[in-house]
Structure 1
Amino acid sequence: MHLRPVAILAVLLLFSLCAGAQVDSSAVEANFSGNTAQYQISPDSLTAPVDYQSRDSMEVDLANQRIHLYGAARVNYESISLQAEHIVLDYGTNLVTAEPYPDTSGVLVGDPQFSDGGQEFTAKNIKYNFKSKKGIVTETVTTQDDVYVRGGKSKFVSGAVQTNDSTRSDVIYTEGAIFTSCSAEHPHFGVRTQKAKVVPNKLAIIGPSNLEIMGVPTPFWLPFGFFPLKSGRSTGLLFPSDYQYSQQWGFGFQGIGWFFPIGEHVNLQVTSDIYLNGTFTLNAASSYRKRYKYSGNFDFSYRRLVEKTSVAENYQDVNNQGFSFGWRHRQDPRAHPTFTFGGSINFQTNQVNQRYLNSYEAASTNVIRSSMNITKSFPALKSTLTAGITHSQNNQTGVINVNFPDARFQTQTIYPLRNLPGSQRAWYKKLSFRYVSELRSEFSGIDTDSTSFFSQQTLDDVRYGFTHRVNTALSLNVLRYFNVSPNASYSETYYGKTLEYFLDESTLETEDIIDENGNPAVDTTSFATIDSRLNPGLAGFRSFNAGVSVSTQLFGTVRLGGRGLFGLKGLRHVMKPSVSIGYVPSYLDARDFISGQPYFIRDNRIDPDRGNPNNFRSPFAGQIFSAPSRSEGNFAASYSISNLFEAKVWNRKDSTDNIVKLFQNIAVSGRYDLAADSLQWSVIRVSGSTSFFKGLTQVNLRASLDPYIAVFDEAQGGAVRLDRTTLREDGVPFQLTNFSGTISTNLTVAKIRQLFQGAEEEYVEDVAEERRQQREEANTLFEETDILSLFEKFSIRHTYNYSLDREVAVVAGQRDTLRFNTVANSIELRGALQLTENWSVNIGQIGYDFTSKRITYPYLSFARDLHCWEMRFSWAPQRNTYQFTIAVKPGTFDFLEVPVNQNRYDGRNLFGT
């Protein structure tokens, strides 16, 4: 006797009911379950066992040859899995029907879910034939990444498409489908098509379609299209991210391009911005990552900006072009124990980022820096080798400096006698030395509209050199309280080019005159000046210095009994004086023993007629490792005194004592030249810093005190020091020449709470974990408990920088004056304001400079979350630029947007500038 496969399944279900069904622990509350593997079935039956289960009940209808499964019903056959709240097995026709079922309140729950080898979709109703592997589904929902495919009535064929040698994919032929990234049951937008072929997790192909917004068809039609539904990376077209119109540039679109997955670990994206007037940009961006090894990204942009001049200049086209390049590489710390490679490179020409981009960071960046290095450590040699490239670029002056190669080899502090026999406290075991060598080349040029950096002149002016030095020191403890440290240092520096000085005859100017005797003569109106040029040739210099330093610490305390005076229980003063004596020989008459090049040349040797014999010029001046010291020998004593003042304050809240730093550091330093015959005392430098209101305000103070008087010298056009002390002339030990200070206040809501609630400062042990927690807190919507919570992410910073300078009287007998100058006085505000769950305001930067009396680059924006859409507006009034967009959130459909914007060139023309 031969039975149909579904009939056999029905008999087995009845048998399992009579025998007592086993509970499948993998299902959720499966009270009815079974398996067909233990029974012999006919040759035309199913080729694999069928697993089945339900939670609530099972009903067998023998008259109609149907079996009903209720409550979390599931049927598994080979790779096919069908789940629903209600499943009907029709063993007379080999059909299985799945549909939702009303709960106790009458609401339909448990939409059918179909899965076949990792391909999944949901629907309102499914009818499927196990033998033909075909079915009819209604209201299917297929999701892949951020794409939702919602179909009407559809035909479903299992395994209809051969994907590869071992895999076949399902196909859904649907009517009235909509493709969207909106997760709502009734999408707010989508592409509506009447016919579509969907291969779940693979591809969707559509016929004539149009854009639908809020259920309303729009006139935007597509003749055909396709949507990749495959996970992972794949080559594909990048739709324009922005369409716009510019009075300067005409119609254009931004961000059109192509995406290329290169291998397993690298992505490449090439896009372009194109406008009708000829303005365009070409952008390339790539990211790469290899787990436990390295990660990084690079970007390249070439921009050609075409703008028209004013009416007075007949609307002439002006082309500004340049490129920018960036590369960031990070090596995983676990990749190699002794070798690292990483850093960042940022380079641009013709200030293209400042011209094209409107962000505060791009507009306010004055200096661009780069550093990419390779570091190799040698544990056995206790040394490290670092080599790479460094770069700096000033956007104000246009000066570019590139150091390549830039290599440095250095040892750790080595104690060569530490392993000798004897006590570890022996003085000779504290002898140490350290060796450092550097190799560097420097390329310099000017970045202008016609960049001259990439020219032969830059190669001709390159400077390169090598230096190495060895330092030795010894640390001794004398009389228990004094640290005595003798030290010595020797260095050699070599350059591939040196300066040659000569008289520039082109600056000599003469005119014919008649002398007092009536004879014709020649009068010199401008004399020849001394100039220099770089000449190739190896030359170097050597330097040596030695000294000894003595340091100690002194403590002073004042204790007040009980709870002290108004909570003040004591004061503590820690003073750390240090005195050092150093010697540097004279190099005025020294020569390089390799090339014979003198270290210094007197002006009268260059210009015998007018040269000053007391003025020296060095062939090594302006080089990358500087020049030798120009003094006639130096034997001087230097001193420094640092001071720390603390107070012990009784805390009423918890009855404990707190240590408060009154002044974090007050330092006094200067020197006395033992070899000089005049002006032995140097200017005394005094500096100090402290903070108030638990770190809200930082104060830094600096002062210069001169023990000698100064007068105005007309020949030099400024003040000069005389060998007459202020103590003898004015009866004071010194006079104030300069006093400056910086007061900086950084105010946040968190710091205000800490100030008034008395929260203690936390000591951070794990910096990485602390930063991770801060990022999580920043991304979490805070609970508004008070008005301050709205401004939780705001910060206000005020900086005040001033100086008090002594101006020497021009006329003898008049008193010097002290002039107060405000160097900088500015306030700036930054932050984000979450008005509601969907409304947010962001202040990227807004400030006011009280010195120049102007607003400093305000940049404002707001955003409105519209579920699957978002509305954004940004405004930079200083550049007169704005951007307003209503667009689909970032994802597959983010090319759908309505942009309204104005670039800085259009905004500038509104004011005729």
Structure 2
Amino acid sequence: MRTNLFHIVLLSIFLTLGNFELQAQENPSKSISIPAAKQKDSLNLGLKDVIKPADTVKNDTIKKKKTLLEGIVKRKAKKYEKIDQKKKELTLYDEAELTYKDIELKAGIIVFNYEKDEVYAGRIKDSLGNYTQNPVFKQGQNVIEPDSIRFNTKTKKALVWNSRTQQGEFRVKAEVSKRENDSVYFMRNARFTTSENIDDPEYYFLARKIKFVPKKKVVTGFTNMVIADVPTPIALPFAYFPMSEKAVSGFVIPTFGDSAQKGYYFQNGGYYFALSDYYDLQVLGDYYTNGSYAFRFESAYAKRYNFNGRVNFRFENQINSEKGFPDYARSKQYNIQWFHAQDTKANPNSRFSASVNLGSSQYFRQSLNQANIGSSLNNNLSSSVSYSKTFQTVPLVNFSVTATHSQNTNTEEIDMTLPTVQASVDRVFPFAPKNGIKKGIIKNINFQYNFRGENRIHTTDSLFFKPGMFDTAKNGIQHSIPISTNFKVFKYFSVTAATAYNEVWYFKTIQKEFNPDSNKVETTPVNGFDAYRTYNFSSSIGTTIYGTFNFGNDKKIQAIRHVMRPSVGYTYLPSFDQYYDTYALDNTGTRYSEYTRFEEGIYGGPSNRTSNRIGMSLSNTFEAKMRDKDETKTEPKKVMLLNNLNFSTTYDVAADSLAWSPLAISGGTQFFDNKMNLNFGASLDPYAVDNSGRRIDKFNIDNGGSLFRMTSANMTINYVLSSEDGKTKGESSQQTVLNGGRTDDLFGRGTDLSDNRQSLFKKEDEKNKEKKDSEFYKLKIPWNLTMAYTLTYSNVNRENEIVGNSLMMSGNIDLTPRWKMGFSSGYDFVQKGISFTQLRFERDLLSWRMSFNWVPIAPYTNWGFFIGIKSSVLSDIKYDKRSLPDRTLR
């Protein structure tokens, strides 16, 4: 009843306000004489007389006064709402909410004077006398959380006490704020920080006067830095901070330091160009007092739902020591990286991708700006740029163009394909029905067409990007038409039969002949088109055999299931003697040898030897059914004993000796809920060897040995342990992966010295740190451990020795919610020494990060200490001190 009465009174007030508005605009009444119009005869009315208005009184020209409220007021309060008609005030108390035009306001108490267009909002006291329900003022995209606020809805001016607002990564709290208009604020005694706790930040900048333009800039007067409520001598007479939501260009402050061999340096200084919303550019450089310098261009680009990527170019001119000293050396190193990925939804029929990592073979081992052991231990750099397109024809046609690069950093040899062009026509079943199942040998006959053209280049690091690298280029085109079918025999056996026609085109061949003048065989290149054609036949038959060994439902192991997949295959390749010629080995005319003019081509040459090979293979899988530890579950638990155990060998019917190939064995399995992966392999040779280590046509068992001679064996074990059942694993830094390093921390965690904000703490740790702080932490310490063990045995030439035997480990542990320690180390049992070792320490200082990395063992001995603000807007506020490993320039 009380609520209804309130609304009735409120309605009466607004109706009264409306009447008062009309009365206030009335003029004193005056008598106005209206002359009577002469009446016409109703029988003689015309159309004009009907349309013409009879009333000639003019409309009222007095303008109506605007209403007191220019918009709809939406309000809500928990305890009461009160309207004072005399003061023209609306009061809302306890959990008050007010929405008026573009203003949204929440507070403990709100007072709205609709005559003066002023709004006041403040806190209220709870039952204990504490202030609660701080105001939250939102206008457009700007949000302010003060202790109290007074705001004029017309002039847009406001006074705010203890305002709290966030602009990007900055949080600002001011003692008194004055708003002049929509775009300018003046503040007094303001603190701004990137800390999440604006009321009790671990650090902040205290400014006596501030001019604040939202989303644009902050201009301050005298400002000094305060850490843990202790003023520091770090101060500025004035400061300027950009606050744009978009990226803005600006200088990157370098790191200062000194090195033993290159003197003092400025490192990672430069300029960031915010070129557009789709791409940017960062130019960084280093300078050392002994004359060394380096520069880097880094750019990232992206277009939503289309593609994204990044490009890095690095160049370093390194000088060790000074001229005249014995350790003086010079070296130029460079590295180019390009990563491009296309959104799968951008175009389903075509795709472009790139992953490029090329440059000097010694870049990661000698770089001034990389503390990246994982990348320096990598012996191969590889690149691939490809474009593919599918033509929606019947049958489908696939087309692709690819450029690849492979570089061995030890031998400094480079292999490239510029480019590789491939095209293929989808399988065609000429005898299959349009509708229905393809069943039988005839209906399953199918063929397709494949085209491949390549241009290969083999060069070295010293000739890369020079004209000489193209002198040894080789090219060729390959056509192939495979024809195959499959069918079943005796219900359980699957048979596959296939034949293939191949044609290879070359544009350069060779000719060999003995030169009596030089007394040696000379190889002469022959330019011009040439081709050879080959064909082959193959077939295979296989089946699957299932076997189960039951031990009883009352046993812990109830049953073991064994799956075997035996297969026998036959391959026939005839001899193609027509493509072979002879050449003299000397001038006697009695010694000759055969060769094919195609043998140096990229696809090789045809064989002049008939091959009749029978291949045999057997794959096995072992699985157990075990009683579940949980007695409430009725179904047994399946446990994989062996994922695979494979045997394979071949027999060449046409060979006159050494017809059997070595028996290859491989297998793998997992243990401890898939935390441990075990893979192994071995090669067993049935033939013996002579004293020189050469295979002879005599079985090893007939030579006084066993049935097989183990020529090689290997085993790898990977084990991942963690306090969260394998959910937490070591993850390497992004830059390490881009540089071609390992995806784990077994070779240490890479560090890009131009960006020290990389952290051991993950985003999940940041989200849960408040929860961790409230727990009794010592009862639950997160940790993870990764181990990798490799063992390699070799006995090819009766050496009978372990050539590789090493153990590598990497782990991280959270000593406290904000202290993390990590390590990477290992031991080589063959060399009998500790392998690469790295110790990592990191402290999460909320808005700051502190880290220390140490590599104590040569040749990569170094250490690094860093402390700085995490936020990108204040990333230049840091202290970075490190000792880089000594570089041996080549």
Q: Same fold (TM over 0.5)?
A: yes
Q: Write the mapping of 1:764-779 to structure 2, written as runs, cut at 5 A.
A: none
Structure 2 unaligned blocks of 5 or more: 25-64, 728-761
Tell me by how many angstroms 1:562 deviates.
6.8
1:642 matched to 2:642: no
Q: Which residue of 2 aligns with 1:891?
A: 872
1:283 matched to 2:296: yes
- Residues 736, 806 of structure 1: 8 Å contact kept: no
AA aligned opposite 1:466 = I
Tell me by how many angstroms 1:458 deviates.
0.5
AA aligned opposite 1:833 = I
Q: Secondary structure at the match of 1:430?
A: coil
Tell me by how many angstroms 1:101 deviates.
2.6
For residues 89 and 555 of structure 1, the distance between their equivalents in structure 2, rounded to whole angstroms, comes to 83
Among candidates 782, 803, 814, match of residue 823 of structure 1 = 803
Q: Structure 2-normalised TM-score? A: 0.79
- Residues 33, 51 of structure 1: 8 Å contact kept: no
Tell me by how many angstroms 1:384 deviates.
1.6
Q: Which residue of 1 aligns with 2:70?
A: 48
Q: Which residue of 1 aligns with 2:144?
A: 121
Q: Which residue of 2 aligns with 1:900?
A: 881
Tell me by how many angstroms 1:453 deviates.
0.9
Q: Which residue of 1 aligns with 2:578?
A: 590
Tell me by how many angstroms 1:741 deviates.
3.1
1:490 matched to 2:507: no
AA aligned opposite 1:108 = Y
For residues 640 and 103 of structure 2, the distance between their equivalents in structure 1, rounded to whole angstroms, comes to 72
Q: Which residue of 1 aligns with 2:128?
A: 105
AA aligned opposite 2:301 = Y
Would the alpha carbon gap of residues 867 and 417 (structure 1) be closer, same or farther in structure 2, given more than 3 Å must change?
same
Among candidates 464, 472, 480, match of residue 453 of structure 1 = 464
Q: Secondary structure at the match of 1:353?
A: helix
Q: Deviations over 1:451-471 (max 9, x none)?
A: 321111111111111111111
For residues 72 and 725 of structure 1, the distance between their equivalents in structure 2, rounded to whole angstroms, comes to 94
For residues 85 and 390 of structure 2, the distance between their equivalents in structure 1, rounded to whole angstroms, comes to 82
Tell me by how many angstroms 1:256 deviates.
3.3
Would the alpha carbon gap of residues 667 and 836 (structure 1) be closer, same or farther in structure 2, given more than 3 Å must change?
closer
Q: Write the mapping of 1:289-688 to structure 2, written as runs, cut at 5 A.
A: 289-308=302-321, 313=326, 316=328, 318-356=329-367, 357-379=370-392, 380-419=394-433, 424-447=438-461, 451-501=462-512, 529-530=520-521, 532=523, 534=525, 536-553=527-544, 567=557, 569=559, 572=562, 574=564, 576-580=566-570, 582-587=571-576, 589-591=577-579, 599-602=580-583, 604=585, 607-609=586-588, 612-613=591-592, 615-631=593-609, 633-634=610-611, 636-644=612-620, 646=622, 648-651=624-627, 653=629, 663-676=642-655, 678-679=656-657, 681-688=659-666
Q: Secondary structure at the match of 2:429?
A: coil
Q: Which residue of 1 aligns with 2:817?
A: 837
1:171 matched to 2:162: no
Q: Which residue of 1 aligns with 2:34?
A: none
For residues 69 and 662 of structure 1, the distance between their equivalents in structure 2, rounded to whole angstroms, comes to 72
Q: Which residue of 1 aligns with 2:32?
A: none
Would the alpha carbon gap of residues 546 and 177 (structure 1) be closer, same or farther in structure 2, given more than 3 Å must change?
same
- Residues 463, 624 of structure 1: 8 Å contact kept: yes
AA aligned opposite 1:282 = F
Q: Which residue of 1 aligns with 2:747?
A: none
- Residues 538, 569 of structure 2: 8 Å contact kept: no
Tell me by how many angstroms 1:110 deviates.
3.2
- Residues 646, 667 of structure 2: 8 Å contact kept: no
Would the alpha carbon gap of residues 658 and 268 (structure 1) be closer, same or farther in structure 2, given more than 3 Å must change?
same
AA aligned opposite 2:696 = R
Q: Which residue of 2 aligns with 1:766?
A: none
- Residues 118, 151 of structure 2: 8 Å contact kept: yes
For residues 424 and 455 of structure 1, the distance between their equivalents in structure 2, rounded to whole angstroms, comes to 56
For residues 860 and 282 of structure 1, the distance between their equivalents in structure 2, rounded to whole angstroms, comes to 29
For residues 846 and 332 of structure 1, the distance between their equivalents in structure 2, rounded to whole angstroms, comes to 39
Return 795-804 or 269-278, whichever deviates more. Answer: 269-278
Q: Secondary structure at the match of 1:835?
A: strand
1:746 matched to 2:746: no
- Residues 431, 443 of structure 2: 8 Å contact kept: yes
Q: Secondary structure at the match of 1:342?
A: strand
- Residues 187, 210 of structure 2: 8 Å contact kept: yes
Q: Deviations over 1:100-156 (max 9, x none)?
A: 232222122233444444333333343444555434333333311111233333432
Q: Which residue of 1 aligns with 2:749?
A: none
Q: Which residue of 2 aligns with 1:164?
A: none
Q: Structure 1-normalised TM-score? A: 0.77
Q: Deviations over 1:279-322 (max 9, x none)?
A: 33322333333333222222222223332269951x63x33323
Would the alpha carbon gap of residues 413 and 241 (structure 1) be closer, same or farther in structure 2, given more than 3 Å must change?
farther
1:875 matched to 2:865: no
Q: Which residue of 1 aligns with 2:709?
A: 736
Q: Which residue of 2 aligns with 1:719?
A: 694
Would the alpha carbon gap of residues 60 and 823 (structure 1) be closer, same or farther in structure 2, given more than 3 Å must change?
same
For residues 119 and 725 of structure 2, the distance between their equivalents in structure 1, rounded to whole angstroms, comes to 67
Q: Which residue of 2 aligns with 1:230?
A: 244
AA aligned opposite 1:719 = R
For residues 434 and 114 of structure 2, the distance between their equivalents in structure 1, rounded to whole angstroms, comes to 95
- Residues 193, 205 of structure 2: 8 Å contact kept: yes
- Count matched residues: 796
Would the alpha carbon gap of residues 238 and 188 (structure 1) be closer, same or farther in structure 2, given more than 3 Å must change?
farther
Tell me by how many angstroms 1:692 deviates.
5.8
Would the alpha carbon gap of residues 650 and 223 (structure 1) be closer, same or farther in structure 2, given more than 3 Å must change?
closer
Q: Which residue of 2 aligns with 1:813?
A: none
Q: Secondary structure at the match of 2:427?
A: coil
Tell me by how many angstroms 1:887 deviates.
0.9
- Residues 839, 863 of structure 1: 8 Å contact kept: yes
AA aligned opposite 1:638 = I
For residues 603 and 144 of structure 1, the distance between their equivalents in structure 2, rounded to whole angstroms, comes to 85
Q: Which residue of 1 aligns with 2:735?
A: none
Tell me by how many angstroms 1:439 deviates.
0.8
AA aligned opposite 1:852 = Q
Would the alpha carbon gap of residues 124 and 347 (structure 1) be closer, same or farther in structure 2, given more than 3 Å must change?
same
AA aligned opposite 2:573 = V
Moved over 6 A (4+): 32-39, 59-67, 90-94, 420-423, 502-506, 750-754, 775-780, 782-788
Tell me by how many angstroms 1:868 deviates.
1.5
- Residues 178, 190 of structure 1: 8 Å contact kept: yes
- Residues 245, 252 of structure 1: 8 Å contact kept: yes
For residues 17 and 297 of structure 2, the distance between their equivalents in structure 1, rounded to whole angstroms, comes to 59
Would the alpha carbon gap of residues 720 and 118 (structure 1) be closer, same or farther in structure 2, given more than 3 Å must change?
closer
Q: Secondary structure at the match of 1:354?
A: helix
Would the alpha carbon gap of residues 247 and 20 (structure 1) be closer, same or farther in structure 2, given more than 3 Å must change?
farther
For residues 365 and 271 of structure 2, the distance between their equivalents in structure 1, rounded to whole angstroms, comes to 26
Q: Secondary structure at the match of 2:690?
A: strand
1:858 matched to 2:837: yes
Give the RMSD, CA atoms, in angstroms: 4.1
For residues 856 and 529 of structure 1, the distance between their equivalents in structure 2, rounded to whole angstroms, comes to 49
Would the alpha carbon gap of residues 210 and 785 (structure 1) be closer, same or farther in structure 2, given more than 3 Å must change?
closer
Q: Write the mapping of 1:170-189 to structure 2, written as runs, cut at 5 A.
A: 170-184=183-197, 185-189=199-203
Tell me by how many angstroms 1:406 deviates.
1.0
